[in-house]
Amino acid sequence: MALEWIFKTEQRTKDPYGAPGTGKSTLISIVTIVSILGAWWLVTELQLIRALFLPAPGLVFSKFLKIACVDHYLERFLVFIGSRTEVVAECEGFSENALHQHILASLYRVFSSFFLAVVTAIPIGIAMGVNRIARGVFDPPIEFYRPIPPLAYLPLTIIWFGIGDFSKIFLIYLACFAPLAISARAGVRSCSVEQIHAAYSMGASRNQVLWHVVLKAALPEILTGMRIAIAFGWTTLVAAEMVAAKAGLGVMVLNAARFLATDIVFLGIVVIGLIAFFFDALMRQVEGLLVPWKGKA
Amino acid sequence: MSAVMSLNDVGMIFSDPSGGGNVTALEQINLDFEAEEFVVALGASGCGKTTLLNVMAGFLPPTSGTIALHGHPITGPGRDRGVVFQKHALFPWLNVLENTAFGLKLQGVGVRKRNEIAKENLGLVGLSEFGNHPIYQLSGGMQQRVGLARALTTNPEILLMDEPLGALDAFTRENMQELILQVWQRTKKIVFFITHSVEEALFMATRLIVMSPRPGRITHEYRLDFCQRYFELGNARKIKSDPDFIRIREEVLSIIYGEEIEG
């Protein structure tokens, strides 16, 4: 029944006998987002659910203003341009840090891990794709640790590397490493044998084939791997910040949960989601610039 | 005239990894290529013509026999033998001009010099205006023209063409046959061209070799001049409907079908 309904709505598109599921969905997505926000507002407005479980959107927004110290920084700005003489509003923040400090701490951890993973995992993945020995060496450890949840080896990283930033970065690094290595490994398989033969018949050396053909052809998959890897990084962030972190979005959410400050938990989740979303949108733009041929040839 | 490229008793045996015995893809191929020849290999699928081209290009070392270019044995692929493939051989990350200039880039030729040569070759195939286009925006026929221009850019002794028109529609295909002949007439390259279209083979070849499968070998050889007549008359349809052309076409077809029935 449900399937029948899905098929019927599909047939209303401009191309009734084409491949199913084509056409734009942006407008529908906007409707979805507005509906979710509207339902959230309505449910809290009618007090159907207690604020402890579901804080009102307005409440979350006012918490955002407070933790981000908007008043404080606005006054400082006014003093700076000379239309005010002193700063009255204090910056309280949450867990001794303002929102931007939490964000910066987390950005630093996620992106330094991501960067380290990119410069190590991509070369290793490429080596695995083009070299039998490298594949034999790296395949077992990667395939072994890949499905293990980061929370399971978090205690081990703390025993080994202590409770400083290094073990946090290491944990996120491991989360980013596997998808990058696997996509780079798969990517080097994406060139056709004709492309390789063509290069050789134009006088290419092995290294030139590797550089000018194999790596270029691997680029689309490597970029997809980067998008997957950074998402893994964000999902591991809260786990990484569970132990002995002062600032960070993960710490903020965990501490808020401890005090049942559900509004701040919501705020933290939304901020993480938005940062990840906008970075992914940026990566898609980069894909469009670097690999415009993706899916076309 | 001495041969530019010669194959002596070339044989190719593929061993079946699952233990089902060996497959003789090529047996005792003897073939000489002389300057300015247009040699077409024709045969049903499985007759070893693509294997033969891969051996000549150096992608596959033959299991027996020798191949020599100007008397020097061939041990691997090289820019003295340009290859045009059926499809999927262009680089979508490069535009048309960069694809064409690729071979010169590998040699370290400066960008200005290599673009100049690449532009000349694009002009030869009628794509002067398309240098900056991405290749995935071109039609199949235009992509094959880029493939031809690219193979010419390294100035090879011989052009090896592996069913270059096999993936094109019939109209584009006939136009491309004429274009390739014109390019051949102007560049004077030796061409080794594989097809399974009898009409295409007869129209283009100065020498036609007919191959048959199991084991892959050359069974018949014809000297032809329909391409010369095309250069004189300039009308491909007229030549393809000429009684001489039709007679040889039927003869070659009966050879190929005869083998199919035997096999």
Specify the pTM: 0.85
CB contact under 8 A, A194 and B88: yes
Inter-chain touch B106–A195, beta carbons under 8 Å: no
Q: Do residues B115 and A222 lie in contact, with contact meaning Cβ atoms separated by under 8 Å?
A: no
The pLDDT tens digits of the residues spanning A112-121 come to 999 999 999 9
Q: Which residues in chain A are closer than 8 Å to B55, comparing Cβ atoms?
A: none
Confidence tier at A182 by pLDDT (50, 70, 90): very high
- In angstroms, how far is CA B236 from the centroid of its own chain? 20
> Residue range B51-58: average pLDDT?
93
Each residue of A138-147: pLDDT tens digit? 999 999 999 9
- C-beta atoms of A293 and B134 within 8 A: yes
Secondary structure (DSSP) of A20-74: TT-S--HHHHHHHHHHHHHHHHHHHHTT-S-TTTS--HHHHHHHHHHHTTHHHHH
Closest CA to B28 of B11, B7, B16, B44: B11
Residue B30: other Cβ atoms inside 10 A: 12
Q: What residues of chain A lie within 8 A of the CB of B151, using their CB?
A: 201-202
CA distance A254 to A154: 16
| Residue A69 reports pLDDT greater than 50 | yes
Which residues in chain A touch residue B90, judged by CB atoms under 8 angstroms apart? 195, 198, 297
User: What pLDDT is stored for residue A255 in this prediction?
Assistant: 93
**What is the residue-averaged pLDDT of chain B?**
91
**Interaxial angle between packed helices A262-290 and A215-240, expressed in degrees from 0 to 180 and rounded to the nearest 10:** 170
Residues of A in contact with B147 (CB under 8 A): 198
CA distance A205 to chain B (A): 8
Q: Residue B263: which pLDDT band, with cuts at 50, 70 and 90?
A: very low
Q: Residue A13: its pLDDT value, please?
A: 62
Using a CB–CB cutoff of 8 Å, tell me whether A208 touches chain B. Answer: yes
Q: Note the ipTM here.
A: 0.93
Q: Count of H helices and E strands in chain A?
A: 13, 0
> Does B23 have pLDDT greater than 90?
no
- In sequence order, the 6+-apart residues with CB closer than 8 A to the CB of B237 are none
Residue B13 backbone dihedrals phi, psi, to 5 degrees: -120, 125
Chain B residue numbers touching A198 (CB-CB < 8 A): 83, 85, 89-90, 147, 150
User: Are B136 and A200 inside 8 Å of each other by CB?
Assistant: no
H/E run at residue B141: helix B140-153
- Summarize the confidence of residues B147-165 as an average pLDDT: 94
Q: What is the pLDDT of residue A37?
A: 94
Residues 6+ apart with CB under 8 A from A169: A109, A112, A113, A116, A240
Task: Please report the number of interchain residue pairs, chain A to chain B, with beta-carbon separation below 8 angstroms.
Answer: 79
